[in-house]
Amino acid sequence: MKNLLIIMLLFSTHVYVVAQDCNSSLRGKVMDYHDKTVLSNASILLLEENIQVYSDNNGNYTITNLCDGDYEIEVAHPYCNTLFIPVTVNGETTLDIKLEHHLEELKEVKVIGSTVFDKTNSAQEVVLRTEVLEKFSTASLGDALKELGGVSTLSTGANIVKPAIHGLNGSRVLILNDGVRMQDMEWGDEHAPNIDINSAGTISVVKGASALQYGGDAIGGTIILEQSKFLAKDTLFGNTSINGVSNGSGGNVSSEITKGYNNGFFIKGQASYKRLGDQEAPDYILSNTGIQEIGTSLQFGKRLFEWGFTGRYSYYDAEIAILRASHIGNIDDLIRSINSGQPETILPFTYDLGNPRQKVRHHLGKLNLYKRFEGLGKFNIQYDIQNNRRFEFDVRRGERSDQASIDLELMTHTLSTDFKWDSNESLQLHFGLMGRYQNNFANPATGVRRLIPDYDKYDFGTFLIGEYRLNNAFTLDAGIRYDYTKVDALKFYQTSRWEERGYDVDFPELVIEDRGTQLLTNPVFDYNNISATVGFNYSSGNDNNLKFNYALAQRAPNPAELFSDGLHHSAARIELGDIRITSETSNKLMLSYNHDFKNFGFTVEPYANFINDFIVLEPTGVEFTLRGAFPVWGYRQTHVNLIGLDVSAYSEWTKEWRTEHLFSIVKGKDTENNIALINIPAANFTNSLRFSRQEWKKLELGLQSQYVFRQNEVPPNISVFSPEQQQDIVLDINSSPEAYHILNFNSKMEFEIGKQTLTTSVLVNNLLNTNYREYLNRQRFFADDLGRNIILQLKLNY
């Protein structure tokens, strides 16, 4: 009887299980997270049951005949992040699914080395990707950017290189490093950006002042360095590269490693070291041109779709020797250097970094947080801090021989916030606020009168940018920005200089203490600047694109333009600012037309920039000091026109052969005085031939031809008095060197070593060892540019 009851119980349980009601369902709607628009053809996969359905034209989906219980679904849609969602089914269950469907957010999950998206729809923008940057691992940011049309460099030898966009450099070019605007005394001609190029994933250049969210004073343009993006998953990867350099008999090593987690957290470390000795022109050693550079960074954070944060710390340290022959003791040294054709000082090769030289240290820290609000948009807030220390060492004798002649410390705090409203498919609005405090301390213990004074600087900015998409082909964008700047300085003037420049008449209220031969002054200046942009982007398919942009930009004068007063030792010239200087106002028109055919494409970009109250630094004469006679360079304001054209083209002749072509020209004129503008790059033409065969270990071979025309439009030279010759002579300081042509070669192959990839490259710059001098190299007065340079690169990805 007992056994019979057990059998009947088991049978009844089995009947109950078999007869369990599996008539439950899961239904809902798939929509965009931002604006709630429905997404059709989204895949909804029930993983446990391997049941897959798709959303209909109204975004609706339904899965029927489900048993109650816990499941996990996978939701996928073109151009969206795939989501895995746990769900409990109990009867009629409803689950609405929200996906990210905006292209702006896709760049956050692109694989390393992919192209970033436009920062502004209507501006001229070009991008350097990771594989291109790797070629310049031993070079500078400016050297890498010269690969782009419309970008040139103002340099002091081979190691101090400042990027210039459409003929403008310094404070007119904004550099954004991983979301932080660099503050590193960019005002000097021989002050290069304090950036380790090995820490960047991609670099994009926005030509003109169209990227208002970054600043309204970028009259030349904006350079944006971004970190490589990667997927949120459990991963560990990195790379190490070693470079050997023949010219300078040195090289560099760079390494980075990234650890990612499925929960979105990541941490990334990077470090690099570079060391070069004296470099060489084709016919002689360029004595005292070595460099030692250290760069390191640590980045961490958590990147989720709805919220996240990132933190970053970076350190950059560089000691840069400056060509010994460029250090002049007086005006007659400069006359002899210009006339002799080769350096006055040529010494045996050494790794020693002697005077004159620079030593710079830059610390950068930032913390950024973001939050997305469903149906509204994305909110960001960021705080960053920078400390920049600069030492400039002159050739001095006695007990001060190793003491810096210039010792500056710049501390900058910035707090910024912005909100991007993107809940409407056709209209997006972007609003932001920025506050910044900056303190500069000029150490008086150098034993030299301070070139730049102590000052406090306060900045406040706000912007509003809108983008309206009329249809799939036509997009309008416009924006406006207001910036307030206040400079509060404490500066000593020689009484004779104060009276010579007429400040005693125009600014008597600035004097707070009279010490007889010196006056202590307290200049306090306020600047209110407005910037604006408007433009459109018309695309008829993927192969035809037309952009137009108008940008109004105003830039407040920097401290060097206002307060420079004395001998700039590393530049070997006297520089004089002017406290009467006001803000520059730029009106720039840009047009860009791009067309891609099946195997051929080209881009044409004309532009015109009309700048009122343009601040120019130029040689004006000679001044006698206790050390001798030195050229005087003074700041003044005038009205200028810059008219230019950038053209690029490519052709895929076969699967293996490709050619690329770049041509850039810009004409600068001082319209007030009807003379050419100083330091405008010469027209240049670059042609590249590349062969690639993927099945041959990804072999790449390339030959590049660079032809730089002579700059025939330069300001007139000046007459100076020669103490040695006791007469006035014409100083050939503005004349430009001859045109030149150089060839560069590069090759690359990849080898699989287990699970790792080894990339080998050989680059040869100035292949034919050509003698030449570049107009925008300040050392052209004293020596030729670099001769042949062979670079061997080894990079291991792991």
Helix (H) or strand (E) holding 207: strand 202-207
3-state helix, strand, coil in the chain (%, to 5): 10, 55, 35
* pLDDT for res 1: 45
Angle, alpha carbons 469-474-476 (nearest 5°): 55
Helices (H) and strands (E) in the chain, counts: 8, 46
* pLDDT for res 547: 93
One-letter amino acid for residue 323 of the chain: L
Q: Which of 682, 725, 690, 726 is nearest to 707 (CA)?
A: 682
Helix (H) or strand (E) holding 339: helix 331-340
d(CA 111, CA 109): 6
The mean pLDDT values, 10 residues at a time, for the chain of 798 residues are 46 43 86 76 83 86 89 80 82 85 39 41 79 85 88 90 93 93 85 89 82 90 86 86 96 95 92 97 96 96 90 97 84 76 89 94 97 90 97 79 88 97 87 97 88 95 94 91 97 93 95 94 97 92 86 95 82 87 97 91 96 94 70 93 96 94 97 96 96 94 97 90 79 90 96 91 97 93 95 94
Q: Which of 28, 36, 96 is nearest to 60 (CA)?
A: 28
Helix (H, G, I), strand (E, B) or coil at 714: coil
Q: Which of 27, 26, 29 is nearest to 40 (CA)?
A: 29
CATH for 222-447+455-797, options being 1.10.3470.10, 3.40.50.720, 1.10.10.60, 2.40.170.20 = 2.40.170.20
* pLDDT for res 222: 92
Helix (H, G, I), strand (E, B) or coil at 702: strand
What are the two backbone dihedrals, phi and then psi, of residue 376, each rounded to the nearest 5 degrees? -120, -75
Angle, alpha carbons 616-356-169 (nearest 5°): 25
Burial of 694 (0-12, 13-18, 19+ CB in 10 A): exposed
Top-level CATH class of 2-101? mainly beta
Strands (E), 726-777: 727-731, 740-753, 756-765
**pTM as predicted:** 0.86
* pLDDT for res 447: 81
d(CA 311, CA 266): 10
Helix (H) or strand (E) holding 142: helix 141-145
d(CA 635, CA 188): 12
Region(s) of the chain under CATH 2.40.170.20: 222-447+455-797
Helices (H), 191-272: none
Long-range contacts of 402-405 (CB under 8 A, 24+ apart): 402/355, 403/446, 403/447, 404/359, 404/443, 404/446, 405/446, 405/447, 405/448, 405/569, 405/570
* pLDDT for res 486: 98
* pLDDT for res 763: 97
